[in-house]
Amino acid sequence: MFTGIVSRLGTLVARNGSSFVIQTPYKRKSMELGASIAFDGCCLTLTEIQKTKGNGSFVTVDVSNETLSHTTIGTWEPGRKMNLERALALGEELGGHIVTGHVDGLAKIVSRFPDGESVRFLLEVPAEFAKFVASKGSIALDGVSLTVNEVEGPRFDVNIIPYTLTHTSWGDRRPGDLVNFEVDLLARYVARLAQTEGMHS
């Protein structure tokens, strides 16, 4: 379980088919094999951990064909910066919203433009996910917990504040880019409840 509050940035250093090696700032001794980390919002299991010359580490993750086909991971190339979040520990502060790390699909960035000190992004999701996106609701995009501004059909916009732009990969995001999209867990259950009630009415 995650919160959508990115703690660090990682860098992809190597890819061999469905196996990826990522440089992280996390210390080797602070992680265990089999632990989960969210990489750009995708919950992946650590299969190998190696210490770097500095304080960080190289971690290896293996990705299934299912995940490759439903996320941006299939397009990752060495040098890519990615958002990292370690799994939430019991008793820790829930700073964003409940995020599972199970990506639902891809959202496309339609436009990017300044909005005061922030940057506003307009995105579009596949039509089947539009019902889960609500104004002032929460959404996870590339692992970042964000608040939806306005919604029109399958399109919606979010504001990215300066801190988030400089501390996550969102500073590099441009129109045409695809990002990992995870539906808010509460929105999913509300939609399911409404569907069930409709079946019995």
pLDDT tens-place string over residues 52-92: 888 899 999 999 999 999 999 999 999 999 999 998 765 56
52, 86, 120 - which closes a domain: 86
In a domain, 91, yes or no: no
**How far is residue 117's CA from residue 131's CA, in Å, rounded to a whole number?**
30
Where in the sequence is the domain holding 52, given as residue range(s)?
A: 8-86
pLDDT of residue 55: 82
Instruction: Give which of 87, 28, 79, 35 is closest to 61, Cα–Cα.
Output: 35
In this model, does residue 163 exceed pLDDT 90?
yes
pLDDT of residue 198: 57
CATH number of the domain bearing residue 20: 2.40.30.20
Mean pLDDT to the nearest integer, 110-139: 94
Residues 149 and 184 in one domain: yes
Residues 45 and 115 in one domain: no
Position 191, amino acid: A
86, 116, 148 - which closes a domain: 86
In this model, does residue 200 exceed pLDDT 90?
no
Residues 116 and 189 in one domain: yes
Task: Answer for the pair 158, 141: CB distance below 8 angstroms, yes or no.
Answer: yes
Distance between alpha carbon 31 and the CA centroid of its chain, in Å?
A: 20
In a domain, 95, yes or no: no
In a domain, 62, yes or no: yes
In this model, does residue 145 exceed pLDDT 90?
yes
pLDDT of residue 144: 96
Residues 194 and 131 in one domain: yes
* Structural tokens at position 44: 């992946």
**How far is residue 102's CA from residue 181's CA, in Å, rounded to a whole number?**
9
The pLDDT tens digits of the residues spanning 186-199 come to: 766 566 566 665 55
pTM of the predicted model as reported, rounded to 2 decimal places: 0.89
Number of domains into which the chain is organized? 2
In a domain, 169, yes or no: yes
